[in-house]
Amino acid sequence: MQQDGLILELQNGNERAFQRIYELYSESVYGIIYSILNDEAIAQEILQDVFLKIWNNSSSYNSDKGRFFTWILNIARNASIDHIRSKSHKNSKKNLAADNFVDILESRSNFSAKADAIGIKKYIDILKPVCKKLIDLLFFKGYTQKETAEELEMPLGTVKTRNRACINKLREMLAE
């Protein structure tokens, strides 16, 4: 839940507020970055960059424009995508493109125990394939509605309503 007072303190340069923000958001941010880059070492570097940006640019967050979470999300996705486009990434041997959050949740045995503890993995299994794709593109990859419609060959309006149904399913599952 967005804590407006905390954000204000962050914007005033309060380091303890920054630490609290880190505690609240770093795992989600790391999950987003990792799902794009699929490399733990690089993702942790980018995670640091993202929080340096959050600290340095906090004054540019404006609640008229959107949620604080969304602001952070954009920084994380942009930093990850910038990295993919950068030289150092092209030089790296790994092929990082294909994975999405579903593969990550399903394939990584070393933390599947953790995902199970939160209880998310089994929910993901229940989600319809179209939901997995929609959530991956719109949320994890930051596609626009239009790009998603093109990628999935689906009318624009359908992207919006189907995604709503998918998130409802996810919320239902998480609420149990």
Partner 1 sequence: MDIKEYISSGILELYVYGALTEAESREVSQALREHPEIRKEVEEIEVALQKLSAAAAPSYNAEAILASIKKKLGNKSEGTVIGIERKKETDWVAYMGWAATVVLLVGLFFVFEDKNNLREQLSSEQAENAKMEQQIADAREDAEKSEELLAVLRDKNVSKVSLQGQNVAPEAYAAVYWNKEENKAYIDAKDLPEPPRGKVYQVWSLKLEPLTPTSIGLLDEFDMDDNKIFALENANESQAFGITLEPEGGSDSPTMDQLYVLGAVAAAP
For the segment 105-144, give every residue that binds partner 1 (CB under 8 A): 105, 108, 110-111, 114-115, 118, 120-121, 128, 130, 135, 138-140, 142-144
Q: Distance between CA atoms of 150 and 164, rounded to whole angstroms? A: 18
**Nearest-approach distance from CB 94 to partner 1, in angstroms:** 15
Query: Is residue 96 at the binding interface for partner 1, with CB under 8 A as the rule?
Result: no
Give the total of residues touching partner 1 (CB under 8 A): 73
Among 37, 51, 132, 133, binds partner 1 (CB under 8 A): 51
**Nearest-approach distance from CB 85 to partner 1, in angstroms:** 16
Q: Which amino acid appears at position 133 of this protein?
A: K
Query: Is residue 169 at the binding interface for partner 1, with CB under 8 A as the rule?
Result: yes
CA–chain centroid gap for 122, Å, is 19
- CA–CA distance from 161 to each of 73, 116, 144, 155, 167 (Å)? 22, 29, 14, 10, 10
**Nearest-approach distance from CB 174 to partner 1, in angstroms:** 5
Query: Is residue 16 at the binding interface for partner 1, with CB under 8 A as the rule?
Result: no
Query: Is residue 79 at the binding interface for partner 1, with CB under 8 A as the rule?
Result: no
Measured from the CB atom, the residue of 57 and 161 that comes closer to partner 1 is 161
Query: Is residue 85 at the binding interface for partner 1, with CB under 8 A as the rule?
Result: no
Q: Are 74 and 61 in contact (CB under 8 A)?
A: no
Q: Are 127 and 172 in contact (CB under 8 A)?
A: no
Measured from the CB atom, the residue of 91 and 108 that comes closer to partner 1 is 108
Measured from the CB atom, the residue of 89 and 169 that comes closer to partner 1 is 169
How is 84-149 classified by DSSP, letter by letter?
HHSHHHHHS----SS--HHHHHHH-HHHHHHHHHHTHHHHHHHS-HHHHHHHIIIIIS---HHHHH
Query: Is residue 151 at the binding interface for partner 1, with CB under 8 A as the rule?
Result: no
